Amino acid sequence: MSAGDAFRKDRRNAPDDFFAAEAASLRWLRDAGAPVVGVASVGDDHIELTRLASAAPSASAAEHFGAALADMHAAGAPAFGSPPEGFTGQQYIGNQPLSSTTHSSWGVFYAEERILPFLDVAVSRRNVSGADAEVVRAVCADLSAGDFDDDEPPARIHGDLWTGNVMWTPDGVVMIDPAAHGAHRETDLAMLALFGCPHLESVFAGYAGRWPLRGGWRRRIPLHQLHPLAVHAASHGPSYGRELGRAARQVRAPEA
């Protein structure tokens, strides 16, 4: 990584564990050999990170990033929902609390800990219509019934891998701002696709070259986008509520 002076993020009266959770996530991903920003120091109201130089995105860097992402996922986690090793505090995605309750079933975990809590907030704020909420809850029922479970082990995922958390540096891609936990590896890839990522197909190619995905993974992208869309519907308004409903309908009727 290219480094200069440390970059400091401050937040007066930050919620409990806010910056500690970020530091724990970064260290856990780094333990897996992932290209993440370095932590210089952390306190209740701040975190200091290695300052990164920027570079233009390239297909080559994207392909290397995909391979590194596969290696990070392969490092695994004890269960779906597991927090970073040794961390017992509150986790967050953005500014919103994130559950660390663990499950042996990915479908139950994804429905109960990653979709429904944020859907409930979005509905209470009138950011999701009744019809859209109904179809999302129907998908969650299918998830809890095991309809989407497979034999994939819990992966060590970044957890908030939108394009703004992918930094292009002279030494390659570096990830920032994780909400790391044990989950399905396709979730990170689906979030990259949700908000757009430069050279996305090269990322996918690099990933597949290291750890091929199960057949039909592109059809499952809307399923894995339900969590970030529910998060954004809760915090960013009705436009994301409509996107959430649209994605849920794709899951329920993928050929429609």
Indicate which CATH number applies to the domain containing 89.
Answer: 3.90.1200.10
User: How many structural domains does the chain have?
Assistant: 1
Cα(193)–Cα(99) distance, rounded to whole angstroms? Answer: 24
Within-domain flag for 44:
no
Is there a contact between 121 and 46 (Cβ–Cβ < 8 Å)?
Answer: no
pLDDT > 50? residue 256: no
In a domain, 47, yes or no: no
Q: Determine, yes or no, domain membership for 172.
A: yes
Helix (H, G, I), strand (E, B) or coil at 35: coil
What residues contact 60, with CB distance under 8 A and at least 6 apart? 202
**Domain membership of residue 214 as a residue range:** 55-252
Residue 29 maps to a domain: no
For the residues 143-149, what does the mean pLDDT come to? 98
Task: Please state at what angle helix 186-194 crosses helix 221-236, rounded to 10 degrees.
Answer: 60
> pLDDT grade, residue 253 (50/70/90)?
confident
How far is it, in rounded angstroms, from Cα 146 to Cα 177? 31
| Residue 43 located in a structural domain | no
Residue 198 is assigned to a structural domain of this protein: yes
pLDDT of residue 2: 39
| Confidence check: pLDDT of 4 > 70 | no
| Cβ–Cβ < 8 Å for 190, 250 | no
pLDDT at 255 over 80: no
**pTM of the full structure:** 0.95
- Would the pLDDT of 85 be above 70? yes
Per-residue pLDDT tens digits for 155-214: 999 999 999 999 999 999 999 999 999 999 999 999 999 999 999 999 999 999 999 999
* 208 in any annotated domain: yes
CB-facing half-sphere around the CA of 228: CA atoms within 13 A: 22
Is residue 42 scored above 80 in pLDDT?
Answer: yes
Q: Please report whether residue 30 resides in a domain.
A: no
